[in-house]
Chain A
């Protein structure tokens, strides 16, 4: 059984940054557009990951938060194989929005 390592390199981060940037760009928070943005970000991230063609299952999570002075914490814990699986998180913000995208890659 051949297993490839999940490589958390800079390229991965940049790809996700691009995905978020291209979908939201300079827009300010609009409740009506949220669903569209979320689907766009998550789908483009996932499609870029599949283009890498590695034998992994992916989980992409996106959190969009309006900047209003409130606090937010996220934590994740995983039950997996440390040598083959990994995760990567990208934070992006503009004047009115915070966006956090996490990607988990599990080897099959």
Chain B
């Protein structure tokens, strides 16, 4: 069975809900504020070092997710991605595109930079029917 295509049938209770309740949408501006505040607070004065930054990156991602779970409206899935890099004289570009329903789904991003590192955090909120 390993490696073969599996089609799983999952049954769940029907709530007859077609979309998120009014006022319960993914709040992009509030998420952006939380993201920016978290990045600023945790990366203020931190110096880039190759060994510690991988853990820092993962920790930031988990931290952001836990903060967002508190304000997350019901029936929304979250995907959070954090990129941390050394501030060298290199060019970097981060882009994202998604296939989603613009009425119910949204995304936010935040950027932080200091003399030795930069960080980009990206969060997508997707409504789950």
Contacts and interface: CB of A to CB of B under 8 A. Distances in A.
Given A57-B99, A79-B72, A63 B92 contact: yes
A69 B50 CA distance: 12
B126 A57 contact: yes
Contacts of A29: 91
Contacts of B35: none
Interface string A67-79: 1111111111111
A9 B3 CA distance: 8
B80 A85 contact: no
Interface residues of A, number: 53
B12 A60 contact: no
Given A1-B12, A67-B90, A70-B85, A75 B61 contact: yes
Interface string B39-81: 0000000001010011011101110110011001000011111
A59 B94 CA distance: 13
B100 interface: yes
B99 A49 contact: yes
Given A46-B97, A85-B77, A34 B85 contact: no
A75 B12 contact: no
A106 B94 CA distance: 21
B87 interface: yes
For B57, B97, B105, B129, the residue with the greatest tally of chain A CB atoms inside 10 Å of its CB is: B97
Contacts, number: 166
Interface string A22-42: 000000010100110011011
A19 to B, nearest CB: 12
Nearest to A43: B97
A42 B94 CA distance: 11
Nearest to A30: B91
Contacts of A14: none
A90 interface: no
A3 interface: yes
Q: Which of A3, A67, A79, A80 has the most CB of B within 10 A?
A: A79
Interface of A: 1-5, 7, 9, 29, 31, 34-35, 38-39, 41-43, 46, 49-50, 56-81, 83-85, 102, 104, 106-108
